[in-house]
Amino acid sequence: MQITLNINREECPLDLDPRTTLLDALRNHLGQCGTKKGCDHGQCGACTVIVNGRRINSCLTLACMHEGDEITTIEGLGAPGALSALQGAFVRYDGFQCGYCTSGQICSATAMLDELREGWPSHVTKDLTGEAALSDAEIAERMSGNLCRCSAYPNIVAAIREVAEGEG
């Protein structure tokens, strides 16, 4: 079927089998391989992209369901020489080893900080109606949808904390 997707502020016409996930459309049809495929079943977060401002797993959604949506991938957040705040912090803090989970981590963290700004609570927020403090436990819980096989977690949390505090 013929569809057009808006990816990183660019209209991309595509001719796809309806079975194509958003993840496969990005990687196999548009050659945008920054978004990674880990499990392909919603269990690892490597495929995280931002759709209309919210992070989702691109492996568990069909490309054809996203006509008219604004899709942002790691390529749309920043580029060498013009890194986003989180991209820069991940480099400075060594927030990775092999780097496979990294694009998913950064897309996820980018949208997670927006959720925090909007006052969303999490599973570890003590006072549901109050403001969540930005503890390491809060960051870990909010980022639990992104696994890191290399277990770079301490540095990932440090990178995210720096960006979040820099804002505050």
Binding site for ligand FAD (CB under 6 A): 42-43
Q: Which of ligand FES, ligand FAD, other proteins, none binds 1 (CB below 5-8 Å, type-dependent)? A: other proteins
DSSP 11-79: EEEEE--TT-BHHHIIIIIS--TTS--SSSSSSS-TTEEEETTEEEEGGGSBGGGGTT-EEE-HHHH-B
Residues forming contacts to ligand FES in the complex (CB under 6 A) are 37-40, 42-47, 57, 59, 96-102, 148-150, 152
CB of 81 to other proteins, least distance (A): 29
The smaller minimum CB distance to other proteins, of residues 22 and 158, is found at 22
Residues forming contacts to other proteins in the complex (CB under 8 A) are 1, 17-19, 21, 40-42, 45, 48, 54-57, 60-62, 64-65, 108, 111-112, 115, 118-123, 125, 128-129, 140-146
Say which amino acid occupies 134.
Answer: L
CB of 69 to other proteins, least distance (A): 10
Contact 96, 147 (CB under 8 A): no
Cα torsion angle, 106, 107, 113, 116, sign:
negative
